[in-house]
Amino acid sequence: MIKAGILSDTHLTKLSKEFIQRVEQCFADCDVIIHAGDFVDISLLDAFQGKTVHAVHGNCCSRNTLAVLPAQKSFQLGDFTVGVTHGNRLGRNADNIESGLWNVFPEADCVIYGHTHNAVCHRTPGEQGKLIINPGAFQMVSRYGIPCSYAILEAGEQLKGSLHELPLG
Protein backbone atom coordinates (compact mmCIF):
# COMPACT_ATOMS: atom_id res chain seq x y z
CA MET A 1 0.00 0.00 0.00
CA ILE A 2 1.31 3.43 -0.99
CA LYS A 3 -0.10 6.41 0.86
CA ALA A 4 0.07 9.86 -0.77
CA GLY A 5 -0.80 13.19 0.81
CA ILE A 6 -2.43 15.69 -1.54
CA LEU A 7 -2.56 19.44 -1.08
CA SER A 8 -3.07 22.55 -3.17
CA ASP A 9 -3.43 26.30 -2.91
CA THR A 10 -1.00 26.89 -0.06
CA HIS A 11 -0.51 30.52 -1.18
CA LEU A 12 2.65 31.08 0.88
CA THR A 13 5.63 33.17 -0.19
CA LYS A 14 8.02 31.46 2.23
CA LEU A 15 8.28 28.37 4.38
CA SER A 16 6.84 28.97 7.85
CA LYS A 17 7.08 27.07 11.12
CA GLU A 18 3.28 26.70 11.17
CA PHE A 19 3.26 25.23 7.66
CA ILE A 20 5.96 22.70 8.55
CA GLN A 21 4.03 21.67 11.68
CA ARG A 22 0.81 21.20 9.70
CA VAL A 23 2.62 19.17 7.04
CA GLU A 24 4.15 16.91 9.70
CA GLN A 25 0.79 16.49 11.42
CA CYS A 26 -1.19 15.70 8.27
CA PHE A 27 1.33 13.76 6.18
CA ALA A 28 3.59 11.97 8.68
CA ASP A 29 2.61 8.50 7.42
CA CYS A 30 2.66 9.42 3.71
CA ASP A 31 5.50 8.26 1.45
CA VAL A 32 4.44 10.52 -1.43
CA ILE A 33 3.29 14.14 -1.59
CA ILE A 34 1.24 15.53 -4.48
CA HIS A 35 0.91 19.33 -4.69
CA ALA A 36 -1.62 20.60 -7.22
CA GLY A 37 -0.22 24.10 -7.52
CA ASP A 38 -0.37 27.61 -6.15
CA PHE A 39 2.55 27.28 -3.74
CA VAL A 40 3.54 30.79 -4.68
CA ASP A 41 7.21 29.97 -3.91
CA ILE A 42 9.00 26.71 -4.71
CA SER A 43 10.78 26.77 -1.33
CA LEU A 44 7.64 25.25 0.20
CA LEU A 45 8.74 21.90 -1.23
CA ASP A 46 11.52 21.89 1.38
CA ALA A 47 8.87 20.91 3.94
CA PHE A 48 8.57 17.49 2.28
CA GLN A 49 12.17 16.30 2.56
CA GLY A 50 12.47 12.51 2.60
CA LYS A 51 9.27 12.03 0.61
CA THR A 52 8.70 11.57 -3.11
CA VAL A 53 7.12 14.80 -4.38
CA HIS A 54 5.01 15.31 -7.51
CA ALA A 55 4.12 18.96 -8.03
CA VAL A 56 2.79 21.35 -10.66
CA HIS A 57 2.61 25.13 -10.75
CA GLY A 58 -0.59 27.16 -10.53
CA ASN A 59 -1.68 30.61 -11.58
CA CYS A 60 -0.42 32.29 -8.38
CA CYS A 61 3.13 30.96 -8.45
CA SER A 62 6.32 33.01 -8.60
CA ARG A 63 8.30 33.23 -11.83
CA ASN A 64 10.90 30.86 -10.38
CA THR A 65 8.23 28.27 -9.54
CA LEU A 66 6.69 28.62 -13.02
CA ALA A 67 10.12 28.01 -14.55
CA VAL A 68 10.85 24.90 -12.46
CA LEU A 69 7.51 23.09 -12.28
CA PRO A 70 5.28 21.90 -15.14
CA ALA A 71 1.64 22.91 -15.59
CA GLN A 72 0.62 19.26 -15.67
CA LYS A 73 2.18 15.93 -14.87
CA SER A 74 1.33 12.25 -14.91
CA PHE A 75 3.10 9.53 -12.95
CA GLN A 76 2.64 6.00 -11.62
CA LEU A 77 1.46 5.38 -8.07
CA GLY A 78 1.73 1.64 -7.64
CA ASP A 79 -0.21 0.08 -10.53
CA PHE A 80 -2.19 3.26 -11.22
CA THR A 81 -1.66 6.30 -13.44
CA VAL A 82 -2.26 9.63 -11.75
CA GLY A 83 -2.57 12.98 -13.51
CA VAL A 84 -2.18 16.30 -11.70
CA THR A 85 -2.71 19.87 -12.85
CA HIS A 86 -3.77 23.05 -11.09
CA GLY A 87 -6.80 23.38 -13.33
CA ASN A 88 -6.82 27.11 -13.98
CA ARG A 89 -6.18 26.55 -17.70
CA LEU A 90 -9.27 24.34 -17.96
CA GLY A 91 -11.90 26.74 -16.67
CA ARG A 92 -13.15 28.86 -13.81
CA ASN A 93 -15.35 26.35 -11.99
CA ALA A 94 -15.17 22.69 -11.00
CA ASP A 95 -17.58 21.50 -13.72
CA ASN A 96 -15.51 23.04 -16.52
CA ILE A 97 -12.24 21.89 -15.00
CA GLU A 98 -13.42 18.33 -14.38
CA SER A 99 -14.81 17.91 -17.90
CA GLY A 100 -11.46 19.05 -19.34
CA LEU A 101 -9.30 16.78 -17.19
CA TRP A 102 -9.90 13.73 -19.37
CA ASN A 103 -8.63 15.57 -22.46
CA VAL A 104 -5.36 16.21 -20.62
CA PHE A 105 -5.11 12.80 -18.93
CA PRO A 106 -7.15 10.31 -21.00
CA GLU A 107 -5.39 7.24 -19.60
CA ALA A 108 -5.37 8.29 -15.93
CA ASP A 109 -6.99 6.21 -13.21
CA CYS A 110 -7.06 9.30 -10.97
CA VAL A 111 -6.91 13.01 -11.74
CA ILE A 112 -6.04 15.67 -9.19
CA TYR A 113 -6.60 19.40 -9.53
CA GLY A 114 -6.77 22.50 -7.33
CA HIS A 115 -7.63 26.13 -8.09
CA THR A 116 -11.25 26.22 -6.88
CA HIS A 117 -10.40 25.84 -3.15
CA ASN A 118 -13.41 23.50 -3.02
CA ALA A 119 -12.51 19.98 -1.88
CA VAL A 120 -14.02 17.08 -3.86
CA CYS A 121 -13.39 13.36 -4.01
CA HIS A 122 -15.63 11.26 -6.24
CA ARG A 123 -15.63 8.72 -9.05
CA THR A 124 -16.84 9.12 -12.58
CA PRO A 125 -19.96 7.06 -13.43
CA GLY A 126 -19.58 3.48 -14.56
CA GLU A 127 -18.20 0.22 -13.31
CA GLN A 128 -14.58 1.31 -13.77
CA GLY A 129 -15.18 4.84 -12.48
CA LYS A 130 -12.08 7.00 -12.35
CA LEU A 131 -11.20 8.95 -9.23
CA ILE A 132 -11.29 12.78 -9.22
CA ILE A 133 -9.74 14.66 -6.31
CA ASN A 134 -9.43 18.33 -5.44
CA PRO A 135 -7.87 18.60 -1.97
CA GLY A 136 -9.21 22.13 -1.43
CA ALA A 137 -7.04 24.91 0.02
CA PHE A 138 -4.43 23.72 2.52
CA GLN A 139 -3.29 27.01 3.95
CA MET A 140 -5.87 29.66 3.19
CA VAL A 141 -9.60 29.76 3.83
CA SER A 142 -11.24 30.19 0.47
CA ARG A 143 -13.19 33.16 -0.70
CA TYR A 144 -16.31 31.11 0.10
CA GLY A 145 -15.34 30.50 3.74
CA ILE A 146 -14.66 26.80 3.14
CA PRO A 147 -12.37 25.28 5.80
CA CYS A 148 -8.76 24.40 4.94
CA SER A 149 -8.44 20.82 3.75
CA TYR A 150 -6.27 18.14 2.18
CA ALA A 151 -6.69 14.65 0.75
CA ILE A 152 -5.13 11.24 1.16
CA LEU A 153 -4.78 8.81 -1.75
CA GLU A 154 -4.09 5.14 -1.05
CA ALA A 155 -2.88 2.86 -3.83
CA GLY A 156 -3.08 -0.85 -3.13
CA GLU A 157 -5.27 -3.30 -4.99
CA GLN A 158 -7.61 -0.34 -5.54
CA LEU A 159 -7.28 3.43 -5.44
CA LYS A 160 -9.02 5.05 -2.48
CA GLY A 161 -9.27 8.76 -1.83
CA SER A 162 -10.43 10.63 1.27
CA LEU A 163 -10.83 14.29 2.25
CA HIS A 164 -9.79 15.77 5.59
CA GLU A 165 -10.18 19.16 7.25
CA LEU A 166 -7.02 20.73 8.57
CA PRO A 167 -6.86 20.58 12.36
CA LEU A 168 -7.23 23.99 14.01
CA GLY A 169 -4.24 25.52 15.71
List the chain domain ranges: 2-165
| Cβ-contact 118, 94 below 8 angstroms | yes
pLDDT digit string (tens) for 108-164?
A: 999 999 998 889 999 998 877 899 999 999 976 555 667 899 999 999 999 999 999
| pLDDT on residue 61 | 82
Is pTM beyond 0.85? Reply is yes
Other C-beta atoms lying within 10 Å of the C-beta of residue 101: 22
| pLDDT on residue 142 | 55
Parallel, antiparallel or unpaired: strands 72-77 and 80-85: antiparallel
What sign for the dihedral angle of Cα 111, 114, 116, 118? positive
Predicted confidence (pLDDT) at residue 78 exceeds the cutoff of 90: yes
Q: How far apart are CA 84 and CA 21, in angstroms?
A: 25
> Which residue, among 92, 90, 86, has the nearest Cα to 100 in the 3D structure?
90
Average pLDDT (74-84) is 98
Q: Domain 2-165, CATH 3.60.21.10 — does that match?
A: yes
42 vs 83 pLDDT, higher one = 83
**Which element (helix H / strand E) includes 102?**
helix 94-104
pLDDT digit string (tens) for 11-46?
A: 888 888 999 999 999 999 999 999 999 988 888 999
